[in-house]
Structure 1
Amino acid sequence: MKARTLFTLALLWASATLSAQSFSDINPTPQQITADKAGKTIAWPLEARLSASSKTLSSLAGQELSQRVRHHAKARTEILLGIRGDKAIRRYTNKIPKHSEGYFLSIEPQRIVLAGHDEAGLRYAVRSLLEAEHEGQLPCGSIVDYPDVRWRGVVEGFYGTPWSHEARLSQLRFYGRNKLNVYIYGPKDDPYHSVPNWRRPYPEVEGQQIRTLVEEAKRNGVTFYWAIHPGQDIKWTAEDRDLLLHKFELMYQLGVRGFAVFFDDISGEGTKADKQAELLNYINREFVHRKGDVAPLVMCPTEYNKSWSRIEKGYLPTLGRELDPDIEIMWTGNRVVACIDKPDMQWINGHIKRRAYIWFNFPVSDFVRNHMLLGATYGNSLEIAEDLSGFLSNPMEHAEASKIALYSIADYIWNMKSYDSQRSWERSIVSLAGAQSSALRCLAEHSSDLGANGHLFRREESSELKDLLGRIERGSEVSLNDLRTLGDECLKLERSANILLSSRDNPALIAELAPWLRMARLIGRYGQEVISLEAAREAKPKAFAEIHAHILSLLEQMYEIDSSENQNPYQPGVRLATLRLLPALDATFARSVAAYNQAHGTQLSSATRYLPCSLSSDVAQLSGLALSSRGKQITISPSNEVIRWASGATLELQAVEPLELKSLEFDLGTKDIAPSFTLEVEQGGQWIALPLMQRAGKTLLRADIAPMKAGRWTRLRLRQTTATELQVYFKSWRLVH
């Protein structure tokens, strides 16, 4: 009897666990789940009596369900399918949330109810039903669900290599699965979206691809927006206005039913708020409203974050006052790259006289292209659902890897109060990597921080070993067991990299990650050897020398990957584990070698990574830019945004040891700007001015190093010398020493 009771309890526990697990597989997290108290489940009905109107059965929701369930008039299970007002689900009307895109889902033995507030809600009910299925079983219970935010999705608005056509198709299917309903096509490097060809039609091949994307978006319940970026050379004339409207008409003929106009990252005539408002209102009234089937017009302003806003000059208040109230205004937060908080939303909404439409610059990496951002999405307020009209993520150029963050962003903006960033991150990795999720999680744990950057935006990394790695880097005493823990993690990282490199489950993901996986494999091996080196330091001098030689070879291989892979012109190379793991390993290596050299009178090298100078600036947008050194060349990472360089503000390099100066060239993206700056080097305690040379009509500046005395410099500074703030760019910096 006792055995039978235990067996029954075990079955009930297993059934309840299955029920909970199945509902927990649904992304985004539903607003309200009522699971069956006994944990009942039913088998997935391969056949069912589908009770729905012919219109419903032919809808996107009906078609998706019919692909998994065959209609059979005598089937035991009945599936009721419909939207508010339909006869089939009328008895459940009171259970349907009165909320756009809301739905009610009920799963009982022999009856499943799928009731949407509207067509989108019905489709989401079907999507949740499909996600609830686990190993052929469905949990009994019900869901009442709806989104917190009306417009949810992605803006492909990054600089760099645009996504491929295949990647975009995959993204649109991903959005459908995760209840995202907006995709804005706006890659900065598409010449027909921006300068120089925004006035011209797409060539036939590219136009047909956009038509295909629009059709795929529609199949997945996603509104496809096409954005234009005309501000850099627009003329506020009827001719340019009509050319823009004609371009929209051409896109409309390709099937586009959502339109956006971007005025971000520009300077000059195109930044005038009154002219922007006049143009947008004309488009809104003469195109959007007249068409009747077009989604709300979206605009990205020039002052799209608080740190750039000049309220006293009236840009944002002008938009708020003059722009039609149904035009959406995008906003990135307190800075270009920032998490969104309640006070920020209250501030911007007050100025633009509407709820802001958030452009969240994460996981975009176009300003740290040597990093792969695979960490959790956290830091946004959970109390701002009522303050937003929309929330869109700007992703990485790595479409597949971006899905880790996009999965969680979909979760966050659907149900903020229930959002758990760590849990969502864990689920996103399982969703993307399946059987290899443990390996991907290990990589992602050490590939989440952005490193030094001009936006001063950082993320946690190697958090599970945070305390240990911090103690090691600070030089605190650590135990042998601590070192074993560190060695085990490095072994895990190496194994994870090898597992993923040989995986065939998601070829697109592995292709994107490959350079970082090769680097992770070397870092993992390097870490294990560093631990072995410390263990051999006192007892095994011969082994120490052999391990040391191997470590130097690993460091050389790491340098080769960083110097040969992902060689984009902005932040070339491959960086991984730079926040905690590598600094701790480097510190351990340096201490071991120093102690060995002192004990044995040797001069073994402990060099790992070295920068010959440091950077500082009182221009906030420049102060965080990354400095890189390769051979005799020192470069500063460029910035994608307009730089506001105050009068008298400087950019300064300080050499660790005196350096030669063989050449210096930099590009501020502005013609005839040389007279506005002074370049100086410090030699022997004295500042020496170096003339700046700039060819007519060109933006590149070169330093004339002739005035330098023989010898080396210790400091170098570039100072803005006009009486007013200048708006320039920072496109490149290359110094050869």
Structure 2
Amino acid sequence: MHRTRTAAATTLAMALAVLPLTGMAGPPGTGRSADRESTGDRTAAAGAITPVPQSAHRLPGRAVITPTTTVVAGPKADTAALELVERSLQAAGADRVVRAGRAPGGGQLTVYVDGPDAVRTLRDLGTQGTDGLPAEGYALAVGAGRIALAGKDATGTYYAAQSLRQLLPHRDHPGGQVPGTAVRDWPATPLRGVIEGFYGTPWSHRARLDQLDFYGAHKMNTYVYSPKDDAYLREKWRDPYPADRLAQLKELVDRARARHVDFTYALSPGLSVCYSSDADLKALTAKFQTLWDIGVRDFAVPLDDISYTHWNCPADQEKFGTGGGAAGAAQAHLLNRVNQDFIARHPGARPLETVPTEYYDVKPTPYKKALATQLDKDVVVEWTGVGVIAPTMTVTQAEQAREVFGHPILTWDNYPVNDYVTSRLLLGPFNGREKGLPGKLAGITANPMIQPAASKIALYTVADYAWNDQAYDARTSWGAALNELAGPDAGTRRALRAFADASYASSLNPRQAPELAAALDRFREDGNAGRLDAVLRTLRDAPSVLRARLADRGFVDDSGPWLDATHAWGIAGRSALALIEATKAGDETRAKELRERIPEQVKTAKSFVYVDLKGKRVPVVVADKVLDAFVDEALAGHAG
């Protein structure tokens, strides 16, 4: 999306911890406030659930995982939710999970999923049900001998099952306990997810399947398929997919549906389309029909990163004229025909989406005015904020965008995308987005990195913000994301945190390596070399720890050259510290040896490269202007 403004953009200025929920508003449109609970109860009840629930508190008693656990399902209970509940109970230690029409009694734990029994149990436990909740909301209660969950709709039930999964213990035998808990939850904005919309090596099929699993687990409901270097989306948009490619897309669509994620197919014809051509309209809708036939129900026509100063066919200039207003009119003409000839004629299709050529800013222009006045009002417009990569995004800006485009706004947030700065991994949190923003939007989609597994750290935080922006804290969510990825092992968590800290900086997080930088500043103040050496040893050893212990092997593969560079910079940093200490001690022999060794260590640290889609070798960057500055400082200050 940002190829045309790269020069400006390239300047870069798991115990799950959560914030307590305090005095939050009730569901949109209810006029109610969420029940207030004591901070201690709230934290204990909600601490295992991510994204942070809108309302959660402790209930009396607790549920115990019994050897045989019964699931009582409502007549229309979501199949995926039921399967998730049963798998989670087995992972919690139940030897046998059975479905039955009613509770068996005899002290067995019973889990009610949707239907009248679930509603009655929620009420019996003193918990309000799903009345008044928006789409995808849910209620969940845990009490003595029973658990109940219900969704406002099928997706809400699935999300309730995801929250229950997080509350349940993980053990290989019965007897685990779940404290009494009540959760009533709903999303802050309707659409929440990811748009694979970067330039560079598209994600692999396997990585996409893994991403869809991740989105479902984190209550993200949208995946937009729009990789810039998929020729069948852009240069060859008129051409049908080969059978094997179409089969892969169907597998993605099926997986998305199973995870309650809407798969959006985004076709980008702007490089060659003739807006006034009946033949091109037919080619576009025929392509959409092929995707409809494999189960796609969400469609987009992005028209970004193209020129509208010239037409692709003489007929367009004759029909629309010239200039930005003419381009907007031409695009509105094509989009309206797609909306009317395809979307409206396919019951079950969701609103058409588009990315305008002017997809950023809130300044009125003839182009935006044409879209605002001529484009069908139900078409959703994607917008990147004030700038291609917006360091901040506010409620006022979203309101201005809604006014100037005249349509519902879905943000295409260009974070953590790194196609414009391929030397870096962007592992910091989603930041700079004002509280209240999600409520002004049709939704939030984040454009991820070329590296899919490494994107999960930032995407975890996007999911947190989009679901419950009022409770969102960037650093808290970032720490929780690291803990989830690292797993329970403390050493792996330390290693991942050190590695991610060294690749923290971005337009949204302008300070690089904040924890390492703080450790260096402490050393400059107090001279405690032992403490700093421990930090640098953790950084040096982090790559080997992650390669040996991290369960997500995709993250290790994605991060290969950055892991190598981090190890090498850790070595150089420790040598720089040793040089400072040797000089302080008057050990000139040792200091001379280090001064001669460090330049070669720095050269090694700078030698690791990322190889891009076109074979270009890009030197990678970690902890830049922090650890390299410390090494330079040591050499300059102790030159002998």
- Whether these two folds match at TM > 0.5 is yes
CA 1:301/1:400 → structure 2, altered by over 3 Å: closer, same or farther? same
Is 1:320 the counterpart of 2:372? The answer is yes
What displacement does 1:588 show?
2.2
Q: Equivalent of 2:512, from 448, 457, 461?
A: 461
Letter in 2 for 1:556: K
Could you report, residue by residue, the CA deviation over 1:521-570 in whole angstroms, capped at 9, with x for unpaired residues?
111111111111122226122212211222122122123224x7669666
Whole-Å separation in 1 of the counterparts to 2:117 and 2:59: 27
Q: How does 1:133-282 map to 2 (within 5 A)?
A: 133-135=168-170, 136-195=176-235, 197-236=236-275, 237-268=277-308, 269=311, 272-282=327-337
What displacement does 1:467 show?
5.2
Q: Which has the higher strand share?
A: 1
Whole-Å separation in 1 of the counterparts to 2:287 and 2:99: 46
Letter in 2 for 1:397: I
Whole-Å separation in 2 of the counterparts to 1:515 and 1:91: 53
Letter in 1 for 2:515: E
Flag structure 1 segments of 5+ consecutive residues without an equivalent.
1-15, 451-455, 597-737
Aligned to 2:435: 382
Q: How does 1:55-204 map to 2 (within 5 A)?
A: 55-56=76-77, 59-67=79-87, 68=89, 69-71=97-99, 74-75=104-105, 76-82=108-114, 86=116, 88-89=118-119, 95-96=129-130, 97-135=132-170, 136-195=176-235, 197-204=236-243
Q: In 2, are the aligned partners of 1:225 and 1:257 still within 8 Å (CA)?
A: yes
Aligned to 2:316: none
Whole-Å separation in 2 of the counterparts to 1:225 and 1:376: 25
Whole-Å separation in 1 of the counterparts to 2:577 and 2:613: 32
Flag structure 2 segments of 5+ consecutive residues without an equivalent.
1-38, 90-96, 171-175, 313-323
Q: How does 1:411-426 map to 2 (within 5 A)?
A: 411-426=464-479
Could you report, residue by residue, the CA deviation over 1:320-359 in whole angstroms, capped at 9, with x for unpaired residues?
2211121110000000001321221121111122331101
Q: Equivalent of 2:73, from 36, 47, 52?
A: 52
- RMSD across aligned C-alpha pairs, in angstroms? 2.4
Q: Equivalent of 1:558, from 589, 605, 625?
A: 605
What displacement does 1:316 show?
1.3
Could you report, residue by residue, the CA deviation over 1:486-518 in whole angstroms, capped at 9, with x for unpaired residues?
333211201212211323522111111121111
Whole-Å separation in 2 of the counterparts to 1:511 and 1:505: 12
Whole-Å separation in 1 of the counterparts to 2:220 and 2:243: 29
Whole-Å separation in 2 of the counterparts to 1:579 and 1:178: 34
Q: Identity of paired residues, percent?
A: 31
What displacement does 1:87 show?
6.4
Q: In 2, are the aligned partners of 1:369 and 1:571 still within 8 Å (CA)?
A: no
- SS of the residue aligned with 1:104? strand
Aligned to 2:628: 582
What displacement does 1:250 show?
1.1
Is 1:30 the counterpart of 2:86? The answer is no
Aligned to 1:344: 397
CA 1:471/1:28 → structure 2, altered by over 3 Å: closer, same or farther? closer
Could you report, residue by residue, the CA deviation over 1:574-599 in whole angstroms, capped at 9, with x for unpaired residues?
10001423223322222212xx1xxx
Whole-Å separation in 1 of the counterparts to 2:346 and 2:57: 43
- SS of the residue aligned with 2:150? strand
Q: Equivalent of 2:495, from 429, 439, 443?
A: 439
Q: In 1, are the aligned partners of 2:606 and 2:620 still within 8 Å (CA)?
A: no
Q: In 1, are the aligned partners of 2:576 and 2:630 still within 8 Å (CA)?
A: no
Letter in 2 for 1:370: S
Q: In 1, are the aligned partners of 2:576 and 2:635 still within 8 Å (CA)?
A: yes
Whole-Å separation in 2 of the counterparts to 1:257 and 1:577: 43
Aligned to 1:694: none
CA 1:526/1:566 → structure 2, altered by over 3 Å: closer, same or farther? farther
Q: How does 1:584-623 map to 2 (within 5 A)?
A: 584-593=630-639, 596=640
Q: In 2, are the aligned partners of 1:23 and 1:139 still within 8 Å (CA)?
A: no
Q: In 2, are the aligned partners of 1:362 and 1:395 still within 8 Å (CA)?
A: yes
Q: In 2, are the aligned partners of 1:47 and 1:71 still within 8 Å (CA)?
A: no
Q: In 2, are the aligned partners of 1:369 and 1:570 still within 8 Å (CA)?
A: no
Letter in 2 for 1:383: G
Whole-Å separation in 2 of the counterparts to 1:258 and 1:586: 53
Aligned to 2:554: 508
What displacement does 1:47 show?
3.4
Could you report, residue by residue, the CA deviation over 1:400-452 in whole angstroms, capped at 9, with x for unpaired residues?
110101111111011111111111111101111212222101111111114xx
Q: In 1, are the aligned partners of 2:499 and 2:542 still within 8 Å (CA)?
A: yes
Q: Equivalent of 2:357, from 280, 302, 306?
A: 302
Q: In 2, are the aligned partners of 1:296 and 1:328 still within 8 Å (CA)?
A: yes
Whole-Å separation in 2 of the counterparts to 1:487 and 1:384: 43
Whole-Å separation in 1 of the counterparts to 2:508 and 2:216: 30
Whole-Å separation in 1 of the counterparts to 2:436 and 2:412: 17
Could you report, residue by residue, the CA deviation over 1:42-89 in whole angstroms, capped at 9, with x for unpaired residues?
223553443333332x63222322444422552533322216xx5652
What displacement does 1:365 show?
0.3
Q: In 2, are the aligned partners of 1:49 and 1:77 still within 8 Å (CA)?
A: yes
Larger Rg: 1
Whole-Å separation in 1 of the counterparts to 2:534 and 2:363: 52
Whole-Å separation in 2 of the counterparts to 1:98 and 1:556: 58
Whole-Å separation in 2 of the counterparts to 1:505 and 1:468: 29
Letter in 1 for 2:502: H
Whole-Å separation in 2 of the counterparts to 1:205 and 1:353: 40
Whole-Å separation in 2 of the counterparts to 1:102 and 1:294: 22
What displacement does 1:90 show?
5.6
Q: How does 1:690-705 map to 2 (within 5 A)?
A: none
- SS of the residue aligned with 2:289? helix
Whole-Å separation in 1 of the counterparts to 2:221 and 2:80: 14
Whole-Å separation in 1 of the counterparts to 2:522 and 2:82: 58
Whole-Å separation in 1 of the counterparts to 2:615 and 2:388: 22
Q: In 2, are the aligned partners of 1:22 and 1:134 still within 8 Å (CA)?
A: no
The TM-score, its normalising length taken from structure 1, stands at 0.72
Aligned to 2:315: none
Letter in 2 for 1:168: R
Whole-Å separation in 1 of the counterparts to 2:205 and 2:147: 38
